[in-house]
Structure 1
Amino acid sequence: MNSEPPPTLFTTKIARIYQTWLDKTVPFVAVRWAVTLVSYLLYFIRIYIIQGWYVVTYALAIYHLNLFIAFLSPKVDPSIYNDDSDDEGPHLPTGSGEEFRPFIRRLPEFKFWYSGSKAILIAFVCTLFSAFNIPVFWPILVMYFIILFGVTMKRQIKHMIKYRYLPFTHGKTKYKGKEDTGKVVGPS
């Protein structure tokens, strides 16, 4: 017999069901991002119609920028391994004797999607309460975000060029091994 109180059992069961449905979405990357894009568009349509909540929208944009930078950044910063003899720092191996370090993101794609989607939902809920509608001249927020985005992405791109990493798999060279002929090679 369970010694946990019924509310704890109920919340545990709901959490497991939620996690199961969340796990089922993992293979459907394009669908997940399409739903998030649609929810983002619906959010912006709502903001346009109600003409307010610009600070909430600005906070959402800054949060998404931080998520995107973490998504583009490697898990282990190559500047930590900076050699004094080489001004360019460590780079990907070019010969067979060098160690291969695959690109591992600081923020995996699924967590990026999940955190971004939750943020859109939270921002949408915030637009339901007038306490979050702080009066502000919105063009200044837009200009400040564009400048912040430009400066941040310039720094990130310089970092990517300096340490020679590409955070996307599209366009990378894919190596194939030998084809399987089905013959078993054994001692002769």
Structure 2
Amino acid sequence: MSDTDSGLEQAPLQNVSAQWSKIQRQYQQTLDRWTPHILQRWLALAGLVVIFFLRIVFAQGWYIVCYALAIYLLNLLLAFLQPKFDPSLEEDLLADEIEEGGEVVSPLPSQRDDEFRPFVRRLPEWQFWLSSTKATVVAIFCTMFEVFDVPVYWPILVVYFFVLFALTMRRQISHMIKYKYVPFDIGRKARYGNAAR
């Protein structure tokens, strides 16, 4: 085999690699353009979810795909509502340090003069939207194939999902009350510097 033959074999691989890199760049550029448009992104996702549910209702099938999507979206919502640094875990670590005779450092501000720590989400808004959109598109794609139309009694899935939703949200809300954090920006934003008032 000559050098020209091996060069010819590598040329198609280089073309495929170059095309794949170009597609990835275009995909990232599109995502970057969508980043500042929060309301439009969420409205587009809501439209996709409506299309998916209309597909489920009119086709009278794919209930297991719908249930899997709902559970995944609930999991994303919980990660979105939780702080990145869970105070209950920090409290457990603090208790362990006290038992071992270590130095006690308060994980949360305990007085007015303590340092302000803003709420940092475990799952940022952008990642929440992107993961939800990808999951919804995959779910719509799955409804195109009969293999995913597993026969189930759908009312049981609906009741089970709502019970699971109620229990997890009750636990999350009690956690928010216990550790005194609000995962939403409510009210007027503070302006700093020479900003107009």
Q: How does 1:117-132 map to 2 (within 5 A)?
A: 117-132=133-148
C-alpha distance in 1 between matches for 2:127 and 2:60: 31
C-alpha distance in 1 between matches for 2:162 and 2:109: 32
Q: Which of 132-141 and 76-85 deviates more? A: 76-85
Match of residue 102 from structure 2: none
The 1:20/1:147 distance shift into structure 2, 3 A limit, reads: same
Match of residue 35 from structure 1: 44
Unaligned runs of 5+ in 2: 1-10, 99-105
How far has the Cα of 1:99 moved from its partner? 2.0
C-alpha distance in 1 between matches for 2:27 and 2:149: 31
C-alpha distance in 1 between matches for 2:195 and 2:44: 40
C-alpha distance in 2 between matches for 1:8 and 1:145: 43
C-alpha distance in 2 between matches for 1:60 and 1:155: 21
C-alpha distance in 2 between matches for 1:176 and 1:16: 36
Unaligned runs of 5+ in 1: 182-188
Match of residue 51 from structure 1: 60
Residue 130 of structure 2: which of 99, 111, 114 is its match?
Answer: 114
C-alpha distance in 1 between matches for 2:164 and 2:26: 40
What is the percentage of aligned positions where both structures have the same residue?
47
Number of residue pairs the alignment of both structures matches: 175
Q: How does 1:47-126 map to 2 (within 5 A)?
A: 47-82=56-91, 91-92=108-109, 94-96=111-113, 98-126=114-142
The 1:149/1:16 distance shift into structure 2, 3 A limit, reads: same
Q: How does 1:151-166 map to 2 (within 5 A)?
A: 151-166=167-182
How far has the Cα of 1:6 moved from its partner? 1.1
How far has the Cα of 1:92 moved from its partner? 5.0
The 1:52/1:92 distance shift into structure 2, 3 A limit, reads: farther
How far has the Cα of 1:8 moved from its partner? 0.8
- Tell me if structure 2 keeps the 8 A contact 1:93–1:100: no
The 1:130/1:76 distance shift into structure 2, 3 A limit, reads: same
Tell me which protein shows more helix as a share of its residues: 2
Match of residue 19 from structure 2: 10
TM-score (normalizing by structure 1): 0.85
